Amino acid sequence: MSALTAPHLNRWLIRLHRPALFVWTVVLLGLGSALMCLWGPLADASAEAWQQHYACAPTGPCLYDQAAILRYKHIYDYATMAVLAVPFLVAAWTGAALIGRELEQRTAQLAWTQGLTPTRWLLSKLTLPAALVTAGTGLLVLLHHGMWWASEGRIGSAKSWYDPPTFYAGGPITVALALAGLFAGAFAGVLLRRSLAALGAAVVAVGALWAGVHQALPHLWTPVTGVSSLESDLPVGNGVDVSTGLLTADGERLPDPFCGSTINPQCERLYDRLGAVSWYHDYHPLSHYWPLQLTASAIVLAVAALLALAAFRVTAVRTRGLS
């Protein structure tokens, strides 16, 4: 039987996973079109409706295109969730179809008998998907980022930049997570060798990684501190929250008792008893957007590299006699 080379395998993979390529293309075209509409006509219609709303008299009937506002809001939410779902879909497909099923049905072992080593087989399986996942997810993230910035200051119901779904869907963290999902699926596939088990493990791994990044994000960069009077209900400063509380005259930080401003006599007595003189708020302003994005992305890419290394290591150990 003739040897199966990497180029032959690539052509075979394209034929084998043609349905997945078709679905990925449909996802990119459909979701990309939705994001472009949010960037253009849907944003324009919503912005015009908000201008009509702002121009309404305080009394009397107010006529504005509420449907345009709600349409933009709903499509924005759905499109954002779809972008955020990509890393999970990549992990599920890689664990179940790309790697797990091949080992479970022993078609991978057949390839290994035709002149292709297990490690080269795994490399060939992952190279093209990694390129397609990076390019496709990167395109969606760029469109989402541009779409959000186009709405800033024009649409009253637009999400803030630090809204978690908006923050992640419009930045490179999601691209890094998609790659991590690919390699998590590969690792789960070669480790478990069962499609459904690998699917579940890969999806759980992406969820755990994302949760860890979200918890660590506020601490990946040095925050700024805003100080404000206790006459305010809340500390000043909008952005990614790190911590809030009370400051005493000697600079000691106290936890927020969630009482409110000193306009309330009960709160004023409480703050006097604690010796508090002002609020403090540690947070990340808009200027920290890219430092947070890039630092978190680097961490996720490092985890993705470790998952890829683990997948190749497990493959090499389990097939040592075949290499």
Q: Each residue of 64-108: pLDDT tens digit?
A: 889 999 999 999 999 999 999 999 999 999 999 889 888 888 877
Alpha-carbon distances of 188 from 29, 130, 278, rounded to whole Å: 29, 16, 52
Residue 2 has a pLDDT of 47
Distance separating alpha carbons of residues 283 and 237, to the nearest angstrom:
7
Does 201 score more than 50 pLDDT?
Answer: yes
Confidence (pTM): 0.90
The domain spans of the chain are 6-217+291-318, 224-287
User: 55 by DSSP, 3-state: which?
Assistant: coil
> For the chain, what percent of residues have pLDDT higher than 90?
68
Question: Contact at 8 Å (CB) between 3 and 114?
Answer: yes
Residue type at 313 in one-letter notation? R
Helix H or strand E encompassing 16: helix 6-16
- How many other C-beta atoms can be found within 10 angstroms of the C-beta atom of residue 273? 8
Mean pLDDT to the nearest integer, 287-311: 97
pLDDT over threshold 70, residue 13: no
Residue 60 Rama label (left phi>0; alpha psi -120 to 50; beta) = left
Distances (CA, A) of 153 to 121, 137, 157, 159: 51, 27, 10, 11
SS3 244: strand
* Residue 23 reports pLDDT greater than 80: yes
Q: What is the share, in percent, of the chain residues with pLDDT greater than 70?
A: 94
Instruction: Please say whether the beta carbons of 173 and 293 come within 8 A.
Output: yes
pLDDT at 89: 96
pLDDT score of 60: 67
Q: Which two tokens stand for residue 201?
A: 């493990």
pLDDT per residue over 119-178, tens digit each? 888 998 899 899 999 999 999 999 999 999 988 889 988 999 999 999 999 999 999 999
CA 124 to chain centre: 27
Q: Report d(CA 217, CA 231) in Å as an integer.
A: 31
Q: Measured between alpha carbons, how far is 106 from 100 in angstroms, rounded to an integer?
A: 10
Q: Do 178 and 86 contact (CB within 8 A), yes or no?
A: yes
pLDDT digits (tens, 9 = 90+) for 216-227: 999 999 999 999
Comparing 43-47, 63-67, 196-200, the range with the smallest average pLDDT is 63-67
How far is residue 301's CA from residue 178's CA, in Å, rounded to a whole number? 10
Closest alpha carbon to 94 in 30, 157, 183, 173: 183
* Confidence at 1, pLDDT banded by 50, 70, 90: very low
| pLDDT tens-digit map of 244-260 | 999 999 989 999 898 88
**Burial level of 195, CB count in 10 A (0-12/13-18/19+)?**
buried
Helices (H), 152-194: 164-169, 172-192
Helix (H, G, I), strand (E, B) or coil at 266: helix
| Cβ atoms of 264 and 219 closer than 8 Å | no
